[in-house]
């Protein structure tokens, strides 16, 4: 067993034992699941929109170099500075250098999963730059010194009661009461002056619009615009797969994104940012920088993971995942949890470190069913399992077991004999059709009974029926 595997298994085991965590996850993911279903029901054109969304992303990925050049050209024409980063280290260095150039002491940041992926919070900390997370959930996660556990609701793992305690401890002025309203008001109070006094605002991008060079951000809180407008400098960090040809294409995807993420129809604040403040503009940043980040994406193109580059980060796959709903996001031990994370993490961090993630899946297909851009997540997860086997990353016991099974299964007489013996043995252990304890599979029987087999093996019953005819 590798240490990463041990890490995942022990994290999953403690998450499973945490009843409070399950309560917290159910409160948010359960609501999200119901609201998404209702929103899709109210949108009979969803299936066609979804097919279009997929085709748009496929088209962009197939012509990625063209769209990157077009976007760069138009962004530059709008006055933006475009930077390129191959790796997370390069991306962080560019952002930190820009912050230093701006003489930044503190920066505000609007939630961006790419920022988490490249480790920007740590890079800013190491550079001695104070970082203020402005999305409410990211604010909670920052105060608690944790990492996000969901890509849309980073603080999904926290109950209201825990947030009350946290805010009482960390806010200048404690929340007035224990209701969610009191907590939201308290965060609003605490963050308002920080928005206005930040030196640099950092955001991600939901879409990069190739034909104008604009960057689209969506929030429901309004924290993106409050992050990007007051400071002198706005820095965008974006994955190179975020491109779309035009605003119309973005709208097709936005209709899918919002319904799939929160069950809303449209985000409260959808903003297209195009270049720095114009000469006569009343407000806005003097400098506008866009950092385009590869960090494994071109490798995904080369390795047959194009379909994963369609992902628009809605989080529906995790909201509907039976495994995620039981263990939450932190157990995955990666930036991106759930089904999409289990496909992305091996690509970003290497399969050797994360081979257990594609295994933490029942292949029930629910994620692919709800994915707004039709990513075949179970197929991609099976692809990682296959590769893990071929690269010899599977545990010795698994490999040995499979060898024994293959030996027996390719010898029908031996196989049938084995089956008969197993049925006989299991029936000896059974009481009233159930087995309470089984050697070697304690992990199963510790928590649930195992069904005792019928009197005959399948082949015995089959032969009997045939001869009886």
Partner 1 sequence: MSNARSAIFQAIERAHGTEETSADQIAEDARNLITDPATARPAITADDPIDAFIERATGPKVGASVDRIDDLNALPAKIAKWLDESGRPLQVALQPTADLTGLDWTGAGITLTNDVDDKVAVGLARFCIAETGSLVFHSAADMPILLNFLPAVHIVAIRASTILSHLEDYADAARAAGNPTPRNACLITGASGTTDIEGRLVKGAHGPGELKIVVVDDR
User: Within positions 241 to 300, which residues make up the interface with partner 1, using CB under 8 A?
Assistant: 245-249, 251-252, 254-255, 262, 264-278, 280-284, 292, 294, 298-299
Site for partner 1 in 177-196 (CB under 8 A): 180-181, 183-185, 187-188, 191-192, 195
CB of 369 vs partner 1, minimal distance in Å:
19
**Of 54, 56, 24, nearest in space to 140 by CA:** 24
Give whichever of 19 and 446 is closer to partner 1, judged by the CB atom.
19
Tell me the chain's radius of gyration from C-alpha atoms.
26
Q: Which two tokens stand for residue 189?
A: 């109070």
Q: How far is Cα 329 from Cα 363, in angstroms, rounded to an integer?
A: 18
Angle between helices 136-143 and 160-170 (to 10 degrees): 70
Residue from the set 124, 198, 240, 367 that interacts with partner 1 by CB under 8 A: 240
Using CB under 8 A, which of the segments 63-71, 357-365, 386-394, 426-434 binds partner 1?
63-71
Give whichever of 12 and 56 is closer to partner 1, judged by the CB atom.
56
Site for partner 1 in 388-447 (CB under 8 A): none
- b/e per residue 59-93 (b: at least 16 CB within 10 A): ebbeebeebbebbbebbeeeebebbebeebebbbb
Find where tokens 């002025």 sit.
173
Give whichever of 9 and 63 is closer to partner 1, judged by the CB atom.
63
Give whichever of 380 and 423 is closer to partner 1, judged by the CB atom.
380
Find where tokens 């690509």 sit.
347
Give residues with Cβ within 8 angstroms of 101, minimum separation 6: none
Give whichever of 104 and 140 is closer to partner 1, judged by the CB atom.
140
Q: Is 422 helix (H, G, I), strand (E, B) or coil?
A: helix
Give whichever of 170 and 359 is closer to partner 1, judged by the CB atom.
170
Q: How far is Cα 258 from Cα 36, in angstroms, rounded to an integer?
A: 9
Site for partner 1 in 322-341 (CB under 8 A): none
CB of 295 vs partner 1, minimal distance in Å:
10
CB of 280 vs partner 1, minimal distance in Å:
4
Residue from the set 2, 22, 84, 351 that interacts with partner 1 by CB under 8 A: 84
The number of beta carbons lying within 10 Å of the beta carbon of residue 416 is 15
Residue from the set 206, 229, 237, 345 that interacts with partner 1 by CB under 8 A: 229
Q: Does 49 bind partner 1 (CB under 8 A)?
A: yes
Size of the site for partner 1 (CB under 8 A): 100
Give whichever of 19 and 283 is closer to partner 1, judged by the CB atom.
283
Residue 263 contacts residue 316 (beta carbons within 8 Å): no
Site for partner 1 in 111-150 (CB under 8 A): 134-137, 140
Residue from the set 31, 147, 326, 445 that interacts with partner 1 by CB under 8 A: 31
The number of beta carbons lying within 10 Å of the beta carbon of residue 453 is 18
Q: Does 199 bind partner 1 (CB under 8 A)?
A: no
Residue from the set 15, 40, 56, 381 that interacts with partner 1 by CB under 8 A: 56
Q: How far is Cα 19 from Cα 233, in angstroms, rounded to an integer?
A: 44
Find where tokens 């609201």 sit.
35
Q: Does 344 bind partner 1 (CB under 8 A)?
A: no
Find where tokens 């129809």 sit.
265
Give whichever of 155 and 375 is closer to partner 1, judged by the CB atom.
155
Residue 329 contacts residue 397 (beta carbons within 8 Å): no
């Amino acid at each position: 067993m590798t240490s990463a595997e041990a890490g995942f298994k022990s994290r999953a085991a403690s998450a499973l034992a945490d009843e409070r965590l399950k309560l917290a996850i159910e409160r948010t993911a359960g609501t999200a699941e119901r609201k998404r279903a209702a929103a899709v029901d109210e949108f009979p054109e969803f299936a066609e929109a979804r097919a279009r969304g997929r085709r748009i992303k496929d088209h962009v990925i197939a012509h990625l170099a063209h769209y990157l050049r077009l976007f760069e050209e138009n962004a530059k024409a709008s006055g933006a500075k475009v930077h390129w980063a191959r790796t997370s280290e390069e991306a962080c260095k560019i952002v930190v250098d820009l912050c230093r150039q701006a003489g930044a002491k503190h920066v505000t940041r609007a939630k961006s999963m790419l920022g988490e992926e490249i480790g920007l919070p740590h890079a800013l900390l190491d550079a001695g730059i104070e970082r203020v997370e402005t999305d409410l959930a990211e604010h909670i996660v920052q105060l608690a010194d944790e990492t996000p556990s969901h890509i849309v609701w980073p603080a999904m793992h926290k109950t209201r009661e825990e947030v009350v305690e946290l805010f009482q401890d960390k806010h200048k002025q404690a929340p007035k009461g224990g209701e969610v309203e009191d907590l939201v008001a308290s965060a609003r109070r605490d963050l308002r002056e920080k928005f206005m006094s930040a030196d640099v605002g950092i955001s991600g991008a939901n879409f990069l619009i190739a034909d104008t060079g604009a960057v689209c951000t969506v929030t429901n809180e309004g924290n993106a615009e409050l992050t990007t407008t007051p400071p002198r400098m706005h820095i965008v960090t974006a994955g190179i797969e975020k491109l779309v040809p035009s605003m119309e294409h973005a709208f097709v995807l936005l209709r899918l994104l919002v319904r799939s993420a929160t069950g809303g129809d449209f985000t409260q604040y959808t903003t297209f940012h195009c270049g720095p403040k114009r000469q006569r503009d009343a407000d806005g940043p003097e400098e506008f920088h866009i950092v385009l980040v590869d960090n494994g994406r071109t490798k995904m193109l080369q390795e047959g993971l194009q379909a994963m580059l369609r992902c628009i980060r809605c989080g529906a796959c995790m909201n509907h995942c039976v495994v995620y709903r039981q263990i939450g996001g932190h157990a995955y031990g990666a930036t991106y949890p759930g089904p999409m994370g289990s496909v992305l993490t091996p690509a970003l961090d290497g399969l050797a470190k994360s081979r257990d993630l594609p295994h933490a899946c029942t292949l029930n297909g629910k994620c692919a069913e709800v994915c707004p851009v039709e990513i075949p997540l179970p197929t991609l997860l099976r692809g990682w399992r296959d590769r893990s086997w071929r690269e010899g990353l599977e545990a010795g016991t698994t490999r040995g077991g499979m060898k024994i099974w293959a030996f027996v299964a390719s010898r029908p007489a031996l196989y049938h004999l084995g089956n008969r013996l197993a049925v006989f043995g299991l029936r000896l252990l059974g009481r009233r059709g159930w087995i309470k304890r089984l050697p070697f599979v304690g992990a199963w029987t510790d928590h649930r009974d195992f069904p005792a087999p019928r009197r005959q093996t399948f082949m015995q019953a089959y032969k009997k029926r045939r001869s009886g005819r």
